[in-house]
């Protein structure tokens, strides 16, 4: 019986624990590409208009990206499981108006405001988690439903307070949104970076993080490998909600205002998914990471600011975001990411 030719290198693994250096390099590739792209965009804009490269503009770009980055980190957690959260926009909005009204009308201390924003986000995220993990509805349907429900609640909340919009938040809030931690680097940026770092460690070094990737790759295989799929999904949507709630607080203190359409009016859903996709996370699950997503958020902010500096009417902004998403997804497809799994997996199975 002739032996079958072997298609992969016949390297035996010896005893020494192998470090996954090639993998890490592979994972970093998208992140490094993004940084290079950002440098290129910044330099090109700087040549065109030197004010782009000033410290004040660049710190504005970074601070502007903080809320998006936190949202995108949460969205990434969900995308990794091959899910999606379309309700982050009203979660951000609800968190911003609840904290905003409590601060504006009742002088709520900032510290408690932070807790309230987290509680609102977690509560709404748990709602999504319940629908998806307990009743088993598909994520896109569940969160499309809660997009409407939570968005409606946002109107109700705004209607209950008078005036109906948040325009005048306490000074402590404003200071938090604009103070620098050190030279030109806003507190918000530091906090968003810290959150990204913590979640990155969670993804790599905890059972929860590992389970997210396994479920996104193949939920049935994950279940049979002993992973508690429903529990992990529940926690993933709760975490996404929690982060969206905190992003609401960042939005509030950064812009100083919030109303019944906050979040929805700036298509936060799309932006958060765009940042994650640009950062290398796929819609088909199991691939990607939060560092890329946070960088994707900064890249978006930078690219959109560059558009303004280039004299392009802001009316083109959504079209620009869409084009960047398509670019990210197409490049991913060419790397053999999105959608190719189904084909490669069946190869070799013959009866």
Binding site for another protein (CB under 8 A): 1, 3-23, 201, 204-207, 210-211, 213-214, 217-218, 220-228, 286-287, 341, 344-351
Residue 118: helix, strand or coil by DSSP? helix
Please say which residue, 155 or 223, places its beta carbon nearer to another protein. 223
Nearest distance in Å: CB 116, another protein: 28
- In 3D space, the residue among 216, 209, 258 whose CA is nearest the CA of residue 73 turns out to be 209
Q: In terms of CB distance, is 106 or 334 closer to another protein?
A: 334
Nearer to another protein, 147 or 195 (CB): 195
Instruction: Identify which of 247, 237, 318 has the alpha carbon closest to the alpha carbon of residue 93.
Output: 247
Tokens describing residue 256: 């100083």
**Least distance in angstroms from the C-beta of 216 to another protein:** 9
Least distance between another protein and beta carbon 282 (Å): 9
Q: Which helix (H) or strand (E) holds 219?
A: helix 219-224
Cβ distance to another protein smaller for residue 164 or 230: 230
Q: What is the 3-state secondary structure (H, E, C) of 124-168?
A: HHHHHHHHHHHCCCCHHHHHHHHHHHHHHHHHHHHHHCCCCCECC
- Residue 16 or 315 having the CB closest to another protein: 16
Q: How far is the CB of 281 from another protein (least distance, A)?
A: 12
C-alpha distances in angstroms, 35 versus 39, 118, 287, 296, 325? 6, 30, 19, 9, 17
Question: Whole-angstrom Cα distance, residue 116 to residue 39?
Answer: 38
Shortest CA distance to 67 belongs to which of 343, 211, 262? 262
| Residue placing its CB nearer to another protein in the complex, 215 or 303 | 215
Spatial CB neighbours of 251, under 8 Å, sequence gap ≥ 6: 67, 92, 96, 258, 262, 263
**Closest to 280 measured CA to CA, from 67, 80, 50:** 80
Q: How far is the CB of 82 from another protein (least distance, A)?
A: 11
Minimal CA–CA distance to 236: which of 79, 27, 50, 35?
Answer: 79
| Smallest gap from residue 283 Cβ to another protein (A) | 13
Q: How far is the CB of 37 from another protein (least distance, A)?
A: 24
State in angstroms the smallest separation of the CB of 279 from another protein.
Answer: 17
Residue whose CB is less far from another protein, 140 or 201:
201
* Closer residue to another protein (CB): 167 or 194: 194
Give per-residue burial for 276-312: e unless 16+ CB within 10 Å, then b. bbbbbbbbbbbbbbbbbbbbbbbbbbbbbbbbebeee
């Amino acid at each position: 019986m002739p032996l079958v030719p072997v298609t992969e290198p016949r390297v035996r693994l010896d005893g020494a624990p192998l470090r996954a250096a090639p993998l890490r390099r592979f994972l970093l590739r998208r992140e490094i590409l993004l940084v290079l792209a950002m440098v290129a965009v910044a330099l090109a804009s700087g040549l065109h208009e030197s004010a782009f490269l000033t410290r004040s503009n660049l710190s504005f770009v970074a601070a502007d990206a903080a809320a998006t980055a936190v949202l995108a980190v949460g969205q990434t957690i969900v995308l990794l499981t091959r899910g999606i959260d379309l309700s982050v926009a009203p979660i951000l909005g609800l968190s911003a108006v609840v904290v905003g009204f409590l601060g504006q009308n009742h002088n709520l201390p900032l510290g408690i405001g932070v807790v309230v924003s987290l509680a609102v986000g977690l509560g709404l995220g748990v709602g999504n988690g319940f629908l998806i993990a307990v009743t088993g509805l598909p994520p896109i349907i569940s969160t499309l439903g809660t997009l409407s429900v939570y968005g409606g609640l946002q109107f109700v909340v705004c209607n209950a307070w008078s005036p109906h919009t948040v325009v005048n938040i306490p000074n402590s809030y404003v200071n938090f949104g604009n103070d620098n931690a050190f030279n030109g680097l806003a507190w918000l940026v530091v906090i968003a970076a810290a959150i990204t770092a913590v979640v990155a460690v969670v993804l790599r070094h905890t059972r929860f993080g590992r389970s997210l990737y396994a479920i996104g790759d193949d939920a049935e295989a994950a279940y049979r490998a002993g992973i508690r799929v429903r529990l992990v999904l529940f926690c993933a949507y709760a975490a996404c909600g929690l982060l969206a709630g905190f992003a609401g607080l960042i939005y509030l203190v950064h812009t100083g205002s919030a109303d019944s359409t906050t979040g929805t009016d700036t298509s936060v859903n799309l932006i958060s998914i765009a940042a994650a996709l640009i950062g290398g996370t796929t819609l088909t699950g199991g691939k990607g990471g939060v560092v890329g997503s946070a960088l994707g958020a900064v890249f978006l902010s930078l690219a959109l600011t560059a558009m303004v500096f280039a004299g392009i009417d802001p009316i083109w902004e959504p079209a620009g975001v869409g084009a960047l998403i398509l670019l990210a997804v197409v490049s991913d497809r060419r790397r053999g990411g999105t959608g190719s799994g189904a084909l490669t997996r069946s190869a070799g199975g013959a009866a």
